[in-house]
Structure 1
Amino acid sequence: MNGHSFIEVRTIAQKKNNEKYEAILNAAVKVIGQAGYHNAPISKIAREAGVADGTVYLYFKNKEDILISILRETIGTIVDRIHDELQLGDGDAAESLKGLITIYFGIFGVNPDLAMFTQVHLRQSNAEMRKQIGDIIRPYYQIIDEVILKGIESGVFRESMDKRIARRMIFGTMDETVTAWILTGAKYSLESQVQPVYDVMVGGLRA
């Protein structure tokens, strides 16, 4: 690794420990979630965060960089909680699956602005951003793959299933459930959907 790359990595790490970095991300979630991507200029995000416009550019290259950073932090939080709270290597695969659903719905269920941001506004991104989004979500896909494989090896899930289709079904069902919840005004508890979604999923996966 050359000196330039090392400085960039260290700088990013330092930024993430800064209160202003977090304040800008939280402000962007709120402003974009409520006003929409195209109605959320940097100046409005800065005002919500309580910082000067120029301060935002000390942490982010542009608004697209803010979007990607929010998704990276969100997926990172989900993955960290899964590793902290679930025994992926030792527990029952079906219970691990339920844990994935519970954590996913729990994080979005307490933050409708974040749900609106990820489920609606983030999807207005361009092709280059969509590739970055795919790279960011990959660690979560890998966890789903791990649960599926463990279920097959333990005889809990059907060995004949197509694992890629199973992963798409699991993530797609959770994703669509959050989307339906936020687009209908978040009028009910998202966590109340854990059991019915789990029942549908595990019914299709069980051996």
Structure 2
Amino acid sequence: MLISIRGRGNMSDIKTARKNKIIETALRIFAEKGFQEATISEIAKAAGVSDATVYEYFKTKEELLFVIPEKLTGDALREFREKVLPFLRGTENKLRAIVQTYMSLYERNPHYSALVMLQLKSNRNFLKTSSYEQIRDAARELLGCIKEGIADGTFKKNIDPLLVRSMILGTIEHLCVRWHLLGSPSNLVDHVDPIIELVLDGIRADAPVREVTVHLHVSGEGVKVNDVSAAGTSREKKGTGEK
């Protein structure tokens, strides 16, 4: 009986390892060739299994594509919640750690970030999958942090948490897409602190408020701009009148 149980356990481990190998191989090939150009036969050969074995785990090529983010995002989110989050103190530190986790995940796994940013984001069928729910769950962690900061007085009461989250994720995704398509920036993680400081400068509860009144005077000579700050300083600038 003990041998039988151990045998079943080993078989389960083998199947899990084989499935993970297929997913890892598919991730690389999808990222390098694109979903349309990649084939199950190519993935199977690279993974060292037969076509039939791939279909044993995944009914279609699209199903194989969609399961990739579920594993990687799920693993990253689970690690963050279990190994990082319990040791964080302060909302700002938590916000920084979340952005760090995003950037590290995308930079350490370039095939994954290329797949998500360049292929999956535009696939409507993907938005209906459990994998997309994992991505939304990660985004909810960020949203919860912003709401927590509003509630505890760290962030301004009048900010829109959904808008702040969109600004952060939009910046991350924009940098990631440029990284893949243009090779710039040279890395992603170095931008964590600049992103956080820019965001915090705008949402901190103790951030100074500077009111600016702008007067425009349009004439044939162009546009004259007069900025009057709350401190009473002013600045004049002539535009060219060009649009």
Same fold (TM over 0.5): yes
Identity %: 26
* Aligned residues of 1:79 and 1:140 also touching (Cα < 8 A): yes
What is the Cα deviation at residue 103 of structure 1? 1.2
TM-score, length basis structure 2? 0.72
Q: Does 1:130 align with 2:127?
A: yes
Which structure dedicates a bigger proportion of its chain to helix? 1
Pairs within 5 Å for 1:1-207 = 18-87=16-85, 91-125=89-123, 127-132=124-129, 134-185=132-183, 188-207=186-205
Q: String of CA shifts for 1:36-87, please: whole Å, max 9, x gaps.
A: 1111111111112111111111111111111221011122022112202333
Distance 1:56 1:107, change over 3 A: same
* Aligned residues of 1:15 and 1:59 also touching (Cα < 8 A): no
Give the CA RMSD over aligned residues: 2.2
User: Taking CA–CA contacts closer than 8 Å with sequence separation of 6 or more, which of the two structures ends up with the larger relative contact order?
Assistant: 1
Q: Which amino acid aligns with 1:145?
A: L
Q: Which runs of 5+ in 2 are unaligned?
A: 1-11, 206-243
Q: String of CA shifts for 1:117-143, please: whole Å, max 9, x gaps.
A: 111122342x23223254332211221
Looking at structure 2, the residues matched to 143 and 15 of structure 1 have their Cα atoms a distance apart, in angstroms, of: 31
**Residues 34-43 or 81-90, more deviating:** 81-90
Which structure dedicates a bigger proportion of its chain to strand? 2
* Aligned residues of 1:29 and 1:117 also touching (Cα < 8 A): yes
What is the Cα deviation at residue 22 of structure 1? 0.6
* Aligned residues of 1:81 and 1:103 also touching (Cα < 8 A): no
Looking at structure 2, the residues matched to 171 and 187 of structure 1 have their Cα atoms a distance apart, in angstroms, of: 16
